[in-house]
Amino acid sequence: MLTMFSQQTSRSCDQVSRREFLRAGGLGLGGFTMVDMLRWRAMGAVDDRQRAKSVIVVFLAGGPSHIDMYDLKPDAPAEIRGEFQPIETNVPGLRVCELMPRHATIADKFSVVNGVEMLDTHSAWVVMTGFGEREKRPVFGSYISRIRGSSVGGMPTYVSLRGENGADPGEPAWLGAAHRPFTPSGEGMSSLQLSREISTDRFDERRGLLRDMDRLPPNAQDQLGNVAGFDGFRDQALEIIRSPKTRTAFDISQEPKALQDAYGPAKRLLQARRLVEAGVPVVTLSMAGTICPPGDWDTHAGTDQKSQTNFYALRQKLPIYDKAIHTLITDLHDRGLDKDVLLVVHGEFGRTPKINKFGGRDHWAPASSVLFSGGGLQMGQVVGDTGPRAERAVDTNYSGQNILATIYRHLGIDLETKLNDLSGRPRYLLDDTRPIRELI
C-alpha cells in the first residue's frame, strides 16, 4: 500500500524530533495528498528559460564544525585551533581539513562561504526556510512546488530522500499538504513500484474505483478523506507511481557497482544525482548517522548522548564525507550537469571556536560554513573572513536567507514573488532577497 506518513522520528542533543513524511510504495486512499499536490499550478513566477535547473541540498544535521572543516585557524591558541591542520588545495588560498584530501583535488569545482549566521536551534527549519521554526514558513522546496507545479515532465518537483534527522521539517506551512515533498521508502529508498501483488490491470481497476468515488455525494466524499474535486490531476498523480521513468530514476542498482561503491554509505547522494538528471528540480537529504557515522554532527562530547570528543567523531565522519561529496561533485561534472545542477551543503549552525571541557564544541550560530558547487556559479573561491578565531564574519553579513536567495536565483524564481498565506496576506519568499554576490 501507499503510506503517506511515517511516525518515525530522530533526535539531536536537545531532544527535538523531526517527523518524516510521505512514503510511497503502492496505491491507496492516502494518495489523495499527492493528488492535491498536482492540483496546483505555476503563478507566472518562473523564468521558463531556466526550467531545467535543479538543486541538491545536503543537510548536515546537528551542526558541523566549520572551524575543523573549511575555516581552520592554525595560528589560533590550542584551545581554539583544535587537533587538525589545514591542507592546500588546487586553488591557491583555499584550504581544507587534512581529513578531506579528496576535496583538495577538486577545490576549483566548489566554493565555500564562511561566516554565515544561522540560529541556535536544532531544526532544519532555518536551513530549509531561512527563518526560525516559530514562524512556520514554508520550506523552499514547497515554494518551488507551489510556483512551478507539483510535477515537471512526469517527475515530482520536490523529493526528500530524508536520512537521520531528516532534511525537511515536514510541514509546508500555509502552502498546504499538497506541497509536502515526495518521499520514497523501503530498502534503498526505491519502493515506488507497484506491489508485486498488484498487477497493472488491478492498478487500473483501482483507478477506475477512484473515478467512481468522484460521483459520491459531497458529504460522503468528505468522510472518505476530503476527495471532492478528485479530477484529472488524480490520473497524473497515479502516473508518478506507475511511470517507468520515475521508478528508473530512483533505482540506483542500474549504476555501475564501482560508482555505487565510490559513494560509500552515502548512496542517497547517488540517488539524488539520478533524480536531478531525470528532471527533478529539488532534492533534499540529510547526511548523518548511518550515512555518515557515528551519529549526527552535534559534537558536544561528554554529554548523555556523546561519549567521544569532537575530534574523535570527525576522524570517523570526515573521510566518509570527503569521499561522498568528492564523488558527487565529480559525478555531476563527468555527466555535464554542473552548470544546471547546484549542490549546497551545510548544517543548522557551526560549532564554538573554543573547545569545551569535554573535548567537544558547542552550538555556534554567529558563523558556519556552506559549500556550493556547480549551478553556473563562480567556483574555486572562499567567501567571507571570520577573523583569527572563526567567531563571526568581519566583511560580510550573510544568513540562511541569502543561501536560499542564491538557490531561488539559480532555479529562475523571481525573488519578488508573493503568495497569500491562510489569512490572505501576501507574503514574500524571503525578507532578505540578496543572493551571495561573490558567487554570481
> Which domains, from first to last, does the chain contain?
42-182+244-439 (3.40.720)
Q: Is 43 exposed, middle or buried (0-12, 13-18, 19+ CB in 10 A)?
A: middle
Please tell me the predicted confidence (pLDDT) of residue 391: 97
Q: What mean pLDDT comes out for the span 379-404?
A: 96
Please tell me the predicted confidence (pLDDT) of residue 232: 36
Tens-digit pLDDT profile for residues 180-200: 888 886 544 454 544 444 455
Tens-digit pLDDT profile for residues 341-386: 999 999 999 999 999 998 999 999 999 999 999 999 999 999 999 9
pTM, two decimals, is: 0.82
Please tell me the predicted confidence (pLDDT) of residue 88: 97
Q: Which residue has the higher pLDDT, 1 or 168?
A: 168
pLDDT bin (cut points 50, 70, 90) of residue 223 is very low
Report the Cα 413 to chain-centroid distance in Å.
18
C-alpha cell at 269: 547522494
Tens-digit pLDDT profile for residues 62-101: 999 999 999 999 999 999 999 999 999 999 999 999 999 9
Q: Hey, CA dihedral for 114, 117, 123, 124, is it positive or negative?
A: negative
C-alpha cell at 275: 533524480
* Distance in angstroms between the alpha carbons of the first and the last residue of the chain: 45
